Amino acid sequence: MFSWLGRTASSCLSPLSQYARMNKDDEEDLGGENDALLWSKDLEKHSHGEFSFAVVQANAVLEDQSQVETGRHATFVGVYDGHGGPDASRYISDHLFGHLLRLAREKGAMSEDVLRTAFSETENGFLTLVRRAYAIRPVIAATGSCCLVGVIWKKTLYVANVGDSRAVMGYLDRSNQIVAEQLTRDHNVSMEEVRKELRNLHPEDSEIVVMKQGVWRIKGIIQVSRSIGDAYLKRPEFSLDPSFPRFHLPEPLHRPVLRADPTIVTRDLQPNYKFLIFASDGLWEYLTNQEAVELVYNSPRVGIARRLLIWAMEKAAKTRQMPYSEIKKLDQGVRRHVHDDITIVIIFIDHEMLDSKTSIPELSVRGFVDTVGPSNFNFP
């Protein structure tokens, strides 16, 4: 039973070599202490090891929501990258974990079916909220969110995802080298296989995927092919008129063009699995999977999520030909022109703890909230 239920390469330089070449001002502020829009928890314990957590805001209103829930023998991670506003990501943060707890309690175990149903109930609940608010605030129909979830329970890892947030595992190969493995599939039409999937599903629609301003988009509007929310692209009753030009569809929607069902991966934890990185796409825009795992593996654990975040912003800054020390002076909203909201959760797997009877604090940590509170969820 759940213990909650009881309660490739982009450079010839290595990531660490590039990291060492940061300018002096940024190196002195490696921790980002002077960045008012950066929040972090440097190191906390979970049921199978330790975790590091960091978030940076770029949008006028933070659209990334995130959480880590720890129990005596289980760990939950959620990264919810919103778009069109924070409504959907906040709703997921407030409801998905509760659905999962209730369903796991009813089934007496964690499973892929529990995850799928938790996603479905969260989607249906948010669309009900949209229906109630639509007449007063129709733009809520254009609010959506990616949703990335990880659960470790009884030496098994479950990862579920809609959208293009990503879970990457760092593991040691036979040569004792750290290797990155992407556990999730990016549901983004920048991927040829996703465009092909959409065209096969909608053969009658020649414009299901179109290139707009150099970027592939579904109906010329959105890049992700799966999400929670985005009701206007799923149900015709939530269509938006021409007064919302960014979200207006010239022809009526006959059937959904986006999906909310997650892809799910299940793994038994192996001795060579070292850590997991859960992050919104703002991180992966600037770091390859291999760069990220090398930096994590070769750095101290304390503050590693914050360090990884700052390294990504360093690379973003270079594209704008400005140092990070200048980025951190920008206000939210303006900062979005340099990088996106970014959330990173790094889960270290300490295998000696898998069979340990050591008591682990039951904690509930929400990204960008400065307190770590007790978890109030109890599984039988």
pLDDT at 355: 67
Shared domain for 107 and 26, answered yes or no, is yes
370 falls in which pLDDT band (50, 70, 90)?
low
Render pLDDT for 260-285 as a digit per residue (tens, 0 to 9): 999 999 999 999 999 999 999 999 99
pLDDT of residue 376: 54
Q: What is the mean pLDDT of the chain?
A: 88
Domain of 58, in residue numbers: 15-188+224-374
Predicted pLDDT of residue 354: 67
Q: Are residues 58 and 115 in the same domain?
A: yes
Q: Is residue 9 part of a domain?
A: no
170 shares its domain with 217: no
How confident is the model over 315-362, as pLDDT tens digits?
999 988 988 888 888 999 999 998 999 999 999 999 877 666 666 778
In this structure, are 217 and 143 located in the same domain? no
Does 152 reside within a domain?
yes
Q: Among the three residues 223, 246, 273, which one is the final residue of a domain in this structure?
A: 223
164 and 38 inside one domain: yes
Residue 5 lies in a domain: no
Is 8 a domain residue?
Answer: no
- 132 in the same domain as 77: yes
User: Do 135 and 199 reside in the same domain of the chain?
Assistant: no
Residue 173 above 90 pLDDT?
yes
Regarding whether 195 and 51 lie in a shared domain, the answer is: no
Q: What is the CATH number of the domain that holds 365?
A: 3.60.40.10
HEC secondary structure over the chain: CCCCCCCCCCCCCCHHHHHHCCCHHHHHCCCCCCCCCEEEEEEEEECCEEEEEEEECCCCCCCEEEEEEECCCEEEEEEEEEECCCHHHHHHHHHHHHHHHHHHHHHCCCCHHHHHHHHHHHHHHHHHHHHHHCCCCHHHHHCEECEEEEEEECCEEEEEEECCCEEEEEEECCCCCEEEEECCCCCECCCHHHHHHHHHHCCCCCCCEEEECCEEEECCCECECECEECHHHCCHHHCCCCCCCCCCCCCCCCCCCCECCCEEEEEECCCCEEEEEEECHHHHCCCCHHHHHHHHHCCCCCCHHHHHHHHHHHHHHHHCCCCHHHHCCCCCCHHHHCCCCEEEEEEECCHHHCCCCCCCCCEEEECCCCCEEECCCCCC
Q: Which has more pLDDT, 5 or 278?
A: 278
**Co-location of 249 and 289 in the same domain:** yes
Tens digit of each residue's pLDDT (9 = 90 or more) over 190-235? 999 999 999 999 999 988 999 998 999 999 999 999 999 999 999 9
pLDDT tens digit sequence for 120-165: 999 999 999 999 999 999 999 999 999 999 999 989 999 999 999 9
Predicted local confidence at residue 356, as pLDDT: 66
**pLDDT greater than 90 at residue 82:** yes
Q: Is residue 131 part of a domain?
A: yes
Whether residue 139 sits in one domain with residue 123: yes
pLDDT of 51 > 70? The answer is: yes
Mean pLDDT for the stretch of residues 355-370: 78
Q: 140 and 236: one domain?
A: yes
Task: Tell me, yes or no, whether 35 lies in a domain.
Answer: yes
Among 199, 223, 247, identify where a domain stops: 223
Do residues 320 and 367 share a domain? yes
| Residue 296 is assigned to a structural domain of this protein | yes
Which pLDDT score, from 0 to 100, does residue 35 have?
A: 87
Number of domains within the chain = 2
Tell me if 380 is assigned to some domain. Answer: no
At which of 207, 223, 239 does a domain end? 223
**What tens digit of pLDDT does each residue of 63-77 get?**
999 999 998 889 999
At residue 8, the pLDDT reads 34
